[in-house]
Chain A
Amino acid sequence: SSELTQDPAVSVALGQTVRITCQGDSLRSYYASWYQQKPGQAPVLVIYGKNNRPSGIPDRFSGSSSGNTASLTITGAQAEDEADYYCNSRDSSGNHLPVVFGGGTKLTVL
């Protein structure tokens, strides 16, 4: 398996831009997916692949990747973006289904 590392907490002023990062060796080969989770709710996919947003996800959410680091950027953060964010990626087993999740980042919108 492999590990994905995220900063435990990040804050951003309302309307400003924030980047949440995810580091791991598997990200050199595979894209990360990103999930938003609000208290008491199931996770929601917000970014996948190179930089794809599922239907209904605002375009202020974007993704990028460089080397062993994937990033989720929120441009013009809104109060409703305050949540936990998780990345995941395929693990290093070589099989197409096993995945690993990052530890999560708690985003506070000030």
Chain B
Amino acid sequence: EVQLVESGGGLVQPGGSLRLSCAASGFTFSSYDMHWVRQATGKGLEWVSAIGTAGDTYYPGSVKGRFTISRENAKNSLYLQMNSLRAGDTAVYYCARGDHGDPNAFDIWGQGTMVTVSS
């Protein structure tokens, strides 16, 4: 079964750090672009970061310089290192797989992990 399972969410104080993980199974992880997408409670989806098969990384302005996406193909794992966290980063964080033929088609999603930034 093709599956993504996130972990690592939790409660962190403003200014703190957290590392999210996403375990992939059922497909050749190294052959796919991967993404992190977040959703604040009651709000829409927000793209957070992407990493290509060659290790190229991309971020929107809202997290650039604070978040770092990485992958470890030998472990079929995706990561998101989040530093200098703010209240506005509070959200459910999803990892998602990019479709082979269409870069903005996210065909597999994890169930999400909740990150709460609060004192």
Contacts and interface: CB of A to CB of B under 8 A. Distances in A.
Q: How many of chain A's residues touch chain B, expressed as a range?
A: 20 to 34
Contact of A102 (B44, B51, B106, B111): B44
Interface string B37-48: 100000011110
Interface stretch (A12-20, A73-81, A86-94): A86-94
Contact of B109 (A32, A44, A48): A44
B27 interface: no
A32 B103 CA distance: 10
Contacts of A37: 45
Nearest to B44: A104
B17 to A, nearest CB: 24
B33 interface: yes
Contact of A33 (B60, B105, B112): B105
Contacts of A102: 44
B58 A86 contact: no
B44 to A, nearest CB: 4
Contacts, number: 79
B33 A97 contact: yes
A66 interface: no
A45 B101 contact: no
B102 A104 contact: no
A30 B37 CA distance: 20
Contacts of B106: 33, 35, 43, 45, 88
Most B-side CB within 10 Å, residue of A37, A54, A96, A102: A96
B104 interface: yes
Interface of B: 33, 35, 37, 44-47, 50-52, 56, 58, 60-61, 94, 98-99, 101-107, 109-112
10 contacts: A1-B60, A30-B104, A33-B105, A37-B45, A43-B94, A45-B99, A48-B99, A48-B105, A93-B58, A101-B37
Interface of A: 1, 30-33, 35, 37, 42-45, 48-49, 52, 54, 86, 88-90, 93, 95-104
A-B interface, 9 closest residue pairs, ranked by CB to CB distance from nearest? A48-B105, A97-B50, A42-B109, A104-B44, A101-B45, A33-B105, A99-B104, A98-B58, A103-B44
